[in-house]
């Protein structure tokens, strides 16, 4: 009985890692749609999000079942409660990818990102995708050191967000209000993906050590 219980706990983290990989694909494909104006890719990101939602539901069912039937305590309870929070954050990361894809689809056949701001936005997308990939590894290995490092990596995203605002607010912005709104929203979406990755990494630290990491200075 105890072996089956431990297998269920491990399976929760395996499922979280699987959802994370789906999110990584969603971020990558949403960015591809955004930078190429490819409506088909955008539609795929939007339609595939249902699979992330269903996977979240399965994790929640398993976690609530363990809470009800096994009444876990101490480290096991930390694992279950953290998993419930992590799966919600993963789902929101998928939703943010859908938001990026919808901006891309809205502007087809044009490309939503003006040429001169594309380097900043491309870098934001790259950082976001890299952070999702890294948090997948953190979940799989329950790697505290990698989780701590991920928190530090978020600093680049914050700087890129400030850069994008500077570009938007420059006096010679030639693309009008519509494009400015798109860029402001896209920057927020990528920033929030990164924030969720850090939050998930912090929850892994809590599961492994029993301590919440200190907030960044």
Residue pair 53/176 in contact (Cβ under 8 Å)? The answer is no
Give per-residue pLDDT as tens, 111-155: 999 998 999 999 999 999 999 999 999 999 999 999 999 977 788
Dihedral in degrees, nearest 10, Cα atoms 168, 173, 175, 178: 40
pLDDT band at 11 (very low <50, low <70, confident <90, very high): confident
Give per-residue pLDDT as tens, 14-67: 999 999 999 999 999 999 999 999 999 999 999 999 999 999 999 999 888 888
Give buried/exposed letters for 88-99 (b at 16+ CB in 10 A, else e): ebbbbbbbbbbb
Domains of the chain and any CATH numbers = 2-209 (1.20.58.220)
This model's pTM is above 0.85: yes
Residue 217 Cα distances to 102, 128, 131, 152, angstroms = 35, 21, 20, 10
Between CA 76 and CA 90 the distance in angstroms is: 21
Residue pair 111/37 in contact (Cβ under 8 Å)? The answer is yes
């Amino acid at each position: 009985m105890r072996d089956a219980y431990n297998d269920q706990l491990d399976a929760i983290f395996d499922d979280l890692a699987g959802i994370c990989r789906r999110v990584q694909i969603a971020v990558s494909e949403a960015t591809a749609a955004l930078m190429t104006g490819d409506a088909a890719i955008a539609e795929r990101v939007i339609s595939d999000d249902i699979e992330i939602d269903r996977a979240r539901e399965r994790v929640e069912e398993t976690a609530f079942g363990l809470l009800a039937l096994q009444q876990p305590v101490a480290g096991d309870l930390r694992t279950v409660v953290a998993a419930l929070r992590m799966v919600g954050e993963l789902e929101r990361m998928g939703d943010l990818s859908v938001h990026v894809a919808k901006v891309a689809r809205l502007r087809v056949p044009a490309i939503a990102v003006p040429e001169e701001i594309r380097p900043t936005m491309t870098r934001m997308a790259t950082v976001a995708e890299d952070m999702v990939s890294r948090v997948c590894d953190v979940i799989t290995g329950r790697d505290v050191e990698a989780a701590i490092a991920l928190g530090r990596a978020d600093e680049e995203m914050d700087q890129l967000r400030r850069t994008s605002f500077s570009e938007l607010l420059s006096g010679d912005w030639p693309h009008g209000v519509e494009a400015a709104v798109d860029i402001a929203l896209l920057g927020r979406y990528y920033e929030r993906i990164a924030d969720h990755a850090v939050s998930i990494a912090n929850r892994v630290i809590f599961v492994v050590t029993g301590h919440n990491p200190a907030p960044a200075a």
